Amino acid sequence: MATPRNVAVLVGSLRKDSINLKLAKALIAMAPQPLKMEIADIGQLPLFSQDWEAAPPQAVVEFKERVRAADAVLFVTPEYNRSMPGVLKNAIDVASRPYGQSAWSGKPGAVVSASPGAVGGFGANHHLRQSMVFLDVPMMAQPEAYIGSAHKLFDANGGITNDSTREFLQKFLQAFAQWIEHNSPR
């Protein structure tokens, strides 16, 4: 039996009817053992300012503790202007500072990008990977997950209606569980 792994899920969209929030919830519902996945809210985080690094706001302290407590991180994000959304970049920045005190370091990670477009958030996916590699997060390379036409995937209860997409995401989560086992510092 594999060791239970707590996964912080960061959603790169704050919209309450977000495609990526629906996808994150669907992934959480289909997570295989030993993954215990939970959304780590980023909507309450203030914009990063080096001025408060020595005494960060409580929301930042709590978020960094949440990230530190996780065994791994999963990013579920849309693409804005061929990159990751600003709110997600801000969350990465606040949990990485001050320099040398990153909450991300050594945590295995993966990313799923989803969009109504055909490309499925390719640009956001790769920009996010680039940032996380710098922060010492071993990012799962395969399978890559770009979910296009994502607005057509959900039923009224948030379930994924497309069988091949559901099967792909189950394989993705299985690969992620193995990635965590092979790359976890704990």
- Give me the tens of pLDDT residue by residue for the chain, a chain 186 residues long: 578 999 999 999 999 999 999 999 999 999 999 999 999 999 999 999 999 989 999 999 999 999 999 999 999 999 999 999 999 999 999 999 999 999 999 999 999 999 988 888 899 999 999 999 999 999 999 999 999 999 999 999 999 999 999 999 999 999 999 999 999 875
Among candidates 111, 45, 44, 119, which has minimal Cα distance to 72?
111
Among candidates 73, 63, 143, 76, which has minimal Cα distance to 115?
76
For the record, the structure tokens of 60 come out as 């930042």
pLDDT recorded at residue 186: 56
| Backbone φ and ψ of 111, nearest 5° | -140, 140
pLDDT recorded at residue 117: 86
In CATH terms, the fold of domain 5-183 is Rossmann fold (3.40.50)
pLDDT recorded at residue 1: 53
pLDDT recorded at residue 182: 95
- Beta carbons of 175 and 143 less than 8 angstroms apart: yes
SS3 164: helix
pLDDT recorded at residue 184: 85
